[in-house]
Structure 1
């Protein structure tokens, strides 16, 4: 049974029950146990494979980006291929959209290209997400890597193509640590599951750069979904709205005030998206704990207030997203969360050998 047929067979009542918002003081929302068909996984990279690198978000005009991309891809033992418009995108809107779609579709359809990496994030996927050929992506499954703005495309590919994608550091960014490189290699160049996701070694354990914290204890298992919180919000009410039912939800963001993080999390809670998740892991949110006159609550207080009483395990602090050191996480595979021990373990490989 294909994915569309399966979802149709699940029934309208189950969808309504699973997405109903929580009522203050009322019973916990129904958490349906859904049996989903497995996500399609792309082939792993092998030494010498070619990687297409493109830019779907904020335009890149700095030629140094090409050098950064080349260094990262070659360090993986792979061969970079830069998209025709990576450094030469039109400033005209219609032309820009067509160029980005042409670069994406061209890489997906080209049998010589074994995977597609976004060079950077920023803004722009919202302009093309409704025009992407998702049937083409499903017919030619390849590793797709990105985070931040590309979260929207992760969500859309999961919904429309049923393909595992990879939330990880992009090769055009100014910083790319050996830790980030090894995390990427483990996720896309090896057939084994990445296993326990570990933060980098701390130089000062008394004041860790990535402090882990239990928000609500317990354990849970489910498929991994999520990404950048702002982009998850951007997908609400669209055909690629996030499906959190029975899932391990991971979220992260950057340079948002605590009240802005709170507003987004409250919206997800009001929409019933948090209550039906199996568990939640909050990535280290870089630059998000700056004081603000808008609210008296700091970032950790926000997490406790919005996530602490959901009745599911929650912890924070993994190096996901906009951190100098970045884990690469396959989205759509099974994982186990232990909020008491503050661990997230990826149980399935995101690629096939």
Structure 2
């Protein structure tokens, strides 16, 4: 995968001494920063901060899907560019993102796709500009790097959810409408799908440790998050609810990344844990592979905090839009979490 090759190339987790990682984690910003609420007819900016889109149809779909949601669309100058596997050079991609935050006409910024490369932009972003012009930022997977850095540096609540060129099915569009237009204090409860079965198998949650916890959400893609270890672009994990997802990672790599979170002190600081989907993460052929169940048992159960897995978060067709920095109450027994406070500023 492109993302894995990029992370292996940086060799951040492997080469950075773990001593001092606690001190390298970002301090809490002065307070949460909320983007203005959205309305139909607003202008949305489409940007490509990570990988290039493989074909023109994907770019066209991103525009048409934003228009179908009721928005006018403005595209970044380089959103269709290519530099290797990236959607333009680092300077071009960062410039598009900074320009969208500076543009008074643009009310929200949607990432066309993920892939890899967003972490390369973090030193080039204008965080003071972003703090002065808070806006909705939406995307997932590699966009985790932007969510983590922007929240750590500015306190802005951003949104881990569907990308512009992804599937805007009825579930995802409804999530968007309820969260951004109706400003609902969402309860995130998995969609029940019997699919002809006597007992439903799809979208099941599994309690790792029962209980209720409250805190702000941090997290996103496990691979991308742990690749920021030792940098100033990680959020403060103290008292937070950590949510994670991933795709195409063998269990031994998932184990290595959880080990990084443990050694850097992040796991010992969180108040609750939500694991979404790890798509295509089965052990495969081989002898003696750890399972995801065993990995979560090893790293999460000793924390003795409320925890569950199976939330509709990740590389799946129907997925939650999760506010990074939003204050929630999670119920690990029920397999749900709900917003306690608005995640958008009042009109």
TM superposition score category, shorter chain reference: 0.7 to 0.9
Q: What secondary structure, in the 3-state scheme, does the structure 1 residue paired with 2:278 have?
A: coil
2:290 to 294, 297, 307: 297
Is residue 43 of structure 1 aligned with residue 36 of structure 2? Answer: yes
What whole-Å deviation, never above 9, does each CA across 1:79-100 have from its counterpart, x for those lacking one?
A: 1222221113345989612211
CA distance in 1, matches of 2:224, 2:332: 25
Is residue 197 of structure 1 aligned with residue 188 of structure 2? Answer: yes
CA distance in 2, matches of 1:334, 1:37: 16
Q: What secondary structure, in the 3-state scheme, does the structure 2 residue paired with 1:324 have?
A: coil
Report the CA distance shift for 1:93/1:56 in structure 2 as closer, same or farther (over 3 A): closer
Deviates more, 1:180-189 or 1:273-282: 180-189
Q: Give the ranges of 4+ consecutive aligned residues of structure 1 lying more than 4 Å apart after TM superposition.
A: 16-20, 34-37, 90-95
Q: What secondary structure, in the 3-state scheme, does the structure 2 residue paired with 1:340 have?
A: coil
CA distance in 1, matches of 2:20, 2:83: 46
Is residue 227 of structure 1 aligned with residue 206 of structure 2? Answer: no
CA distance in 1, matches of 2:294, 2:85: 44
Are 1:214 and 1:340, in contact at CA under 8 Å, matched by a contact in 2? yes
Cα distance, 1:215 vs. partner? 0.6
What whole-Å deviation, never above 9, does each CA across 1:5-36 have from its counterpart, x for those lacking one?
A: xxxxxxxxxxx99949xxxxxxxxxxxxx997
Partner of 2:9: none
CA distance in 2, matches of 1:35, 1:96: 31
Structure 2 counterparts to residues 329-344 of structure 1, below 5 A: 329-344=322-337
Structure 2 counterparts to residues 232-311 of structure 1, below 5 A: 232-293=225-286, 295-311=288-304
CA distance in 1, matches of 2:78, 2:29: 38
1:328 to 321, 328, 342: 321
Partner of 1:139: 132
Are 1:192 and 1:348, in contact at CA under 8 Å, matched by a contact in 2? no
CA distance in 2, matches of 1:294, 1:266: 21
Are 1:45 and 1:190, in contact at CA under 8 Å, matched by a contact in 2? no
1:54 to 37, 47, 50: 47
CA distance in 2, matches of 1:333, 1:93: 30
Are 1:51 and 1:116, in contact at CA under 8 Å, matched by a contact in 2? yes
Are 1:281 and 1:316, in contact at CA under 8 Å, matched by a contact in 2? yes
Partner of 2:174: 182
Partner of 2:4: none
Give TM-score, length-normalised by structure 2: 0.87
Aligned CA-pair RMSD = 2.4
Q: What secondary structure, in the 3-state scheme, does the structure 1 residue paired with 2:46 have?
A: strand
Partner of 1:73: 66
Cα distance, 1:176 vs. partner? 3.0
CA distance in 1, matches of 2:62, 2:194: 28
CA distance in 2, matches of 1:214, 1:86: 41
Q: What secondary structure, in the 3-state scheme, does the structure 2 residue paired with 1:284 have?
A: strand
Give the gaps of 5 or more residues in structure 1. Answer: 1-15, 21-33
What whole-Å deviation, never above 9, does each CA across 1:192-211 have from its counterpart, x for those lacking one?
A: 322x1022231336242222
CA distance in 2, matches of 1:232, 1:93: 19
Are 1:167 and 1:331, in contact at CA under 8 Å, matched by a contact in 2? yes
Cα distance, 1:162 vs. partner? 1.4
Is residue 153 of structure 1 aligned with residue 146 of structure 2? Answer: yes
CA distance in 2, matches of 1:159, 1:274: 17
Report the CA distance shift for 1:277/1:101 in structure 2 as closer, same or farther (over 3 A): same
Q: What secondary structure, in the 3-state scheme, does the structure 1 residue paired with 2:45 have?
A: strand
Report the CA distance shift for 1:145/1:218 in structure 2 as closer, same or farther (over 3 A): same
Structure 2 counterparts to residues 27-42 of structure 1, below 5 A: 37-42=30-35
CA distance in 1, matches of 2:144, 2:58: 21
Are 2:156 and 2:325, in contact at CA under 8 Å, matched by a contact in 1? yes
